[in-house]
């Protein structure tokens, strides 16, 4: 989790002394100032700022929507929230704003999905930065799909046969054929290099989308790219997260972890976020 484009954890502590009294603890994180969603509402972003922000997104890529991306006054970006990645499909697709940035295979549970779902999210956010408004603003799941297909066109037969759900295959085959739109027309004010990035990100078939590392090699990011900065994180160990423990053991582990990290990291106090632990 240590990455310059992922929010850092500077300290963790609890104000409680006795284990039985433990109800909350505090996470200390860098103060960033605003998030990308608020920034886009305040001003239209220039293409060079879009370049810099999307470059940073791709370096620290994870589950994304604009509100998950914190920005400081120097236009430095950090990814804030990883919680959405673990929600059940039924939970996360019910959240309207999140749906606008979700890959179609996740929204409609078409197939097992890979990390390219994050590439779709990044493409939607980049498109919004360039347009000044969301690209796919569906009212429900099926309307979201219709909005997407207005841009991507109707899926090809080769893609439809990959869908795991027979109902999904039947539904797609029943739709009227829609041609793919020319993104150079949709983003007429953007540079050719910017549109090239979107063309490789916003593809219905997840197997055809670029990976984060492939996207970073595109000419659009050459001005900012430093290959030595593009580190890859080790897989996250979810062993403890998936453990089934009694309440008193969870309390003991939470308090022990908080105190240990507090002692290791010292007394830095930049910004406090309180997390209530409901027992």
* Sign, CA torsion 158/161/162/167: positive
Report the alpha-carbon distance of residue 129 to residue 50 in Å, rounded.
7
**Closest to 80 measured CA to CA, from 113, 117, 40, 36:** 36
Report the alpha-carbon distance of residue 58 to residue 229 in Å, rounded.
12
Catalytic positions are 63
Which tokens is 71 given? 């920005």
Rg (CA), the chain: 21
Report the alpha-carbon distance of residue 195 to residue 170 in Å, rounded.
32
Q: For 34-48, give the secondary structure using H, E and C.
A: EEHHHHHHHCCCCHH
pLDDT for 277 equals: 39
Angle at 120 between CA 115 and CA 124, to 5 degrees: 150
**Closest to 155 measured CA to CA, from 179, 123, 139, 185:** 179
Report the alpha-carbon distance of residue 48 to residue 272 in Å, rounded.
32
pLDDT for 66 equals: 63
pLDDT for 255 equals: 60
pLDDT for 123 equals: 95
Phi, psi (degrees; rounded to nearest 5) at 130: -75, -35
pTM score: 0.71
Report the alpha-carbon distance of residue 17 to residue 62 in Å, rounded.
36
pLDDT for 34 equals: 83
Q: CB under 8 Å to 131, separation ≥6 — which residues?
A: 187
Q: How many CA atoms lie within 13 A of 163 on its CB side?
A: 22
**What does each of the 279 residues of the chain score in pLDDT, given as a tens digit?**
677 777 778 888 877 777 777 778 888 888 888 888 888 888 888 999 999 889 888 887 745 556 677 888 878 877 776 443 334 333 333 344 578 888 888 877 776 666 788 899 999 999 999 999 999 998 888 889 899 999 999 988 888 888 887 888 888 888 889 999 999 999 999 999 999 999 999 999 888 999 888 999 999 998 888 777 766 666 667 777 777 888 777 777 666 665 555 555 554 433 333 333 333
The answer to whether the beta carbons of residues 71 and 42 sit under 8 Å apart is no
Architecture of domain 34-229: Orthogonal Bundle (1.10)
pLDDT for 90 equals: 39
Beta bridge partners of 274: 26
How big is the chain, counted in residues?
279
């Amino acid at each position: 989790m240590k990455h310059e484009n992922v929010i850092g954890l500077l300290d963790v502590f609890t104000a409680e002394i006795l284990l039985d009294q433990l109800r909350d603890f505090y996470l200390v994180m860098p103060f960033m100032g605003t998030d990308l969603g608020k920034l886009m509402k305040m001003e239209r972003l220039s293409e060079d700022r879009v370049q810099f922000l999307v470059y940073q997104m791709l370096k620290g890529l994870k589950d994304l929507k604009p509100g998950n991306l914190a920005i400081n006054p120097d236009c430095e970006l950090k990814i804030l929230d990883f919680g959405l990645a673990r929600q059940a499909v039924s939970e996360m697709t019910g959240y309207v704003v999140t749906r606008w940035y979700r890959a179609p295979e996740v929204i409609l549970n078409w197939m097992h999905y890979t990390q390219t779902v994050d590439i779709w999210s990044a493409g939607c956010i980049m498109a919004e930065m360039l347009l000044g408004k969301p690209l796919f603003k569906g009212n429900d799941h099926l309307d979201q799909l219709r909005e997407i297909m207005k841009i991507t066109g109707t899926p090809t037969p080769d893609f439809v046969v990959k869908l795991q759900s027979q109902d999904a295959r039947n539904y797609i085959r029943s739709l009227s054929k829609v041609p793919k739109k020319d993104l150079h027309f949709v983003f007429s004010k953007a540079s050719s290099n910017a549109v090239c990035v979107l063309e490789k990100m916003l593809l219905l078939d997840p197997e055809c989308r670029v990976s984060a590392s492939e996207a970073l090699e595109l000419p659009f990011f050459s001005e900012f790219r430093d290959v030595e900065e593009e580190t890859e994180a080790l897989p996250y160990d979810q062993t403890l997260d998936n453990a089934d423990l009694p309440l008193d053991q969870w309390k003991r582990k939470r308090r022990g972890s908080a105190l240990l990290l507090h002692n290791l990291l010292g007394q830095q106090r930049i910004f406090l976020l309180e997390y209530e632990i409901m027992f």
